[in-house]
Structure 1
C-alpha cells in the first residue's frame, strides 16, 4: 500500500508540472519529456522501479505507465504552447491534474476501504480540487481574471474534468492514464469554447444534487459505477448548459426509468424480461438513451455562438427524453403482462420477444412521455421551459415520445438481433423521437 501511495504521489507531482506551462512557454513540454526519458532509460530495476511499476510494467521491464502519461502530458503541453495554439493552458492543466491527483485521491481512500463508490468519490474530489487549483494558477500567470464571476465556471470545468476522467478510467484499463488525459483535455477545451454562463448557486446546487442522485442510483442498484458516472456527467451538463428545466426533465427519466427497472425485478427475471446486470444500467445503456439529448444540450449552448436558433435543440432534447422514458416504461411494465403481440403483425408472441408490445406497456409508456412533456413545457416561476408553447408544446412532446417508442418496437421486430443490439435500437428510437418533436414544433 505504501508503494501504491508513493506511486500515486509521483504521478500527481508529474501532473503538477502543468501549472508551469505559461511560464515556460514553448519549453512547457520539456519537463514532461525529461520525466519520460528518465523513467524509460534510467529506471529499469531496484526500489524506484518496484515503486513506480504498474501492472504489466514488470514483465516488460519498462515503466510504460509513467512514460506514456508523461509523454501524453508533454504532447498536450507542446500543443498548448505553440503560437496561436487552440488548446488553452486551462484545459491542459485541468486535464492533467484531474487525472494525476484523481489517482492519488483514489489511492488514499483505498487505505481505508475497498468499496467502489468511496474510491470513485476520492478520485473525483481530489481531481476536482487539483484541476481547480491548476486553472487558477494558470490564469494568475496569464493575467486572466480570477474573481467571483469566473470562479464558478472554473469549478464547473474542474468537476467536468474529474468526472470525465473517472468515467474514462472506469471504461479503459486503469493504467491507460495517457488516454484519459488526452480525452479529458479535449472535453474541457470544448466546454471552454462554449463559454457557458455559470453562477455560484447553480454550480453548487448542481454538483450537490447530481452527486447525491448518483450515489442513490448506485446504492439502490439502478446503475453501475460507470453508468452512475455517465448519468452524473449528463445531469451536470444539462443543468449548466441548459438550465434547471432541462435538468429536471432529464432527471425524471433517470429516476423513473431506474426505479421501473427494479420494479418487481424478480418476477421479470423469472419471465426472462429483466434488465441485465441485476437492473443496474451501465454506460452503454445510459448513452444509448441519452446521447441524442446530450447532443441537443451542447447544441443549445453552442447556438448563440453559431448564430442559429436554439429552440429546435430544446425540441430535440424533449423528444429524445420522452422517447427514452416511454420506451423504458413500456418495456419494464409491459414485460410483466401476458399476451404480448408483435407490433408489425399483431400476432401473439412469447414475453421478451423483440418488438413485442402489450396494452399495459403502451399505456405506461404514454404516461412516461406525458410526464416528460409536462416538465419540458411546463416551466414555472423559477425556471424557463425547455420548449415554449404551453399545453400544445407538451402535447407535441407526448406525441414525439409515443412515435419514438413505436419506432423502437418496430426496429426491435425488424432488425434487432445478433448484428443490431438493443442499445443501437434505443439510440435510433430517441433520434426518431427528437426528429418528430422538432418537425411538429416547427408547424405548431
Structure 2
C-alpha cells in the first residue's frame, strides 16, 4: 500500500465517521447505518480516490436533506407504505452503496487504465441510480397528481412501490444529472470525464425505472386487514400481522435497491465502453 493510499484511507475514515456521527445525531442514520457509512466511505476514498469519495458525499448529503424535507407531509401521505423511516440502517446503506463500494475496491486493485475507466463509469452508474431513486421517492410522494404503476398505468396510492408521478420522474432525472455534473467538476482532467453527465442521466434514470418495475412486480407487499391498507411491513404499525399481497417475501425494498444499483452500474459501464469503441472508430 502506497503512502497516498494510506493517506486517503485515513482521510476517508475521518471524514466518513464524522459525517456518520453527525447524521446519527440528526436521526438520519441508525448505529448500524453509521458503521455502514464509515466502512463505505473509507473504502471508497481509499481505493477509488478523492472524486469518488466526494461523489458519495453528494449522494448522501442530498438524500439526507430530501429525506427531512416536509417529513410530516410525507408521514401523513404515505407512512404505511414504507418499511423504514428517514433513519437509514445498515441494510439500507449496503443496499444503496454496496455495489458502488465493491466497484471502488475493484478499481483499487485494477492495473489496466481501461478497466479503471470502466469501473469508474460503473461506480457513477450505481451511485446515480441510488441518487435518482432517492430523489424520486422523497419528492414524488409530495406530487399533487396520484401515482400510476409503471407496469400497468393503474392509479395507486402515494408511496406505493412501483408507482411513478411526473414530479418523481423529474426528480429522478434531476438527481442523476446533478451527480454527473458534480462528478465532472471533480474530474475535469480525467479521461472520459466529458461523458459523466450523459452516463449518470442515462444509467441513473434507467436504474430508477428498473427499481420501479421491480417494486411493482417482485417486491413483497402486504395488506393490513385491520386498517385496510397496503404496506411493506409484515407486521403493521397497528400490531396486526399482515397477509401477503404480491411479490416474494425475500424481496424487500433493500433487495430491490441493490438490484437496481447493480443494473445502473452495468448500464453505465456498457455505455462508456460503447462510447470508447465509437470514438476509436472515428479516428
User: What's the counterpart of residue 436 of structure 1?
Assistant: 267
Shift of 1:245: 0.1
CA 1:276 to 1:414, structure 2 compared with 1: closer, same or farther past 3 Å?
closer
Shift of 1:207: 3.3
Q: Distance in 1 between matches of 2:129 and 2:187?
A: 23
Q: Is the 8 A contact 1:261 1:275 kept in 2?
A: no
CA 1:330 to 1:238, structure 2 compared with 1: closer, same or farther past 3 Å?
same
User: What's the counterpart of residue 314 of structure 1?
Assistant: 120
Whichever of the two has the greater Rg, that structure is 1
Please give the residue correspondences for 1:73-152 in structure 2 after superposition, counting only pairs within 5 Å. none
Q: Please state whether the residue corresponding to 1:354 is helix, strand or coil.
A: coil
In structure 1, runs of 5+ residues without a counterpart are: 1-194
Shift of 1:272: 2.1
User: What's the counterpart of residue 173 of structure 1?
Assistant: none
User: What's the counterpart of residue 240 of structure 2?
Assistant: none
The two structures have a TM-score, normalised by structure 1, of 0.52
- 1:291 equivalent to 2:102? Answer no
Please give the residue correspondences for 1:34-433 in structure 2 after superposition, counting only pairs within 5 Å. 195=1, 197-198=3-4, 202-273=8-79, 276-304=83-111, 309-337=115-143, 338-380=145-187, 385=190, 388-417=191-220, 418-419=248-249, 420-433=251-264
Q: Distance in 2 between matches of 1:330 and 1:231?
A: 22
Q: Distance in 1 between matches of 2:195 and 2:5?
A: 32
Shift of 1:343: 0.6
User: What's the counterpart of residue 233 of structure 2?
Assistant: none
Shift of 1:229: 1.3
The answer to which structure has the higher helix fraction is 1
Q: In terms of mean alpha carbon deviation, does 202-211 or 431-440 score higher? A: 202-211
Shift of 1:390: 3.4
Q: Distance in 2 between matches of 1:244 and 1:371?
A: 18
The two structures have a TM-score, normalised by structure 2, of 0.80
In structure 2, runs of 5+ residues without a counterpart are: 221-247, 276-283
Q: Is the 8 A contact 2:208 2:260 kept in 1?
A: yes
CA 1:322 to 1:197, structure 2 compared with 1: closer, same or farther past 3 Å?
farther
Shift of 1:197: 4.8
Q: Distance in 1 between matches of 2:114 and 2:59?
A: 28
Tell which has more relative contact order, 1 or 2 (C-alpha 8 A, sep 6+): 2
Q: Is the 8 A contact 1:342 1:413 kept in 2?
A: yes
How many residue pairs are counted as aligned between the two chains? Answer: 245
Q: Is the 8 A contact 1:369 1:398 kept in 2?
A: yes
CA 1:277 to 1:397, structure 2 compared with 1: closer, same or farther past 3 Å?
closer
Q: Distance in 2 between matches of 1:279 and 1:258?
A: 8
Q: Distance in 2 between matches of 1:393 and 1:266?
A: 35
Q: How large is the RMSD of aligned CA atoms in angstroms? A: 2.1
User: What's the counterpart of residue 238 of structure 2?
Assistant: none
Q: Distance in 2 between matches of 1:352 and 1:430?
A: 20
Q: Please state whether the residue corresponding to 1:279 is helix, strand or coil.
A: coil
CA 1:324 to 1:214, structure 2 compared with 1: closer, same or farther past 3 Å?
same
Shift of 1:220: 0.8
Shift of 1:203: 4.6
Q: Is the 8 A contact 2:17 2:38 kept in 1?
A: yes
The answer to which structure has the higher strand fraction is 2
CA 1:204 to 1:414, structure 2 compared with 1: closer, same or farther past 3 Å?
closer
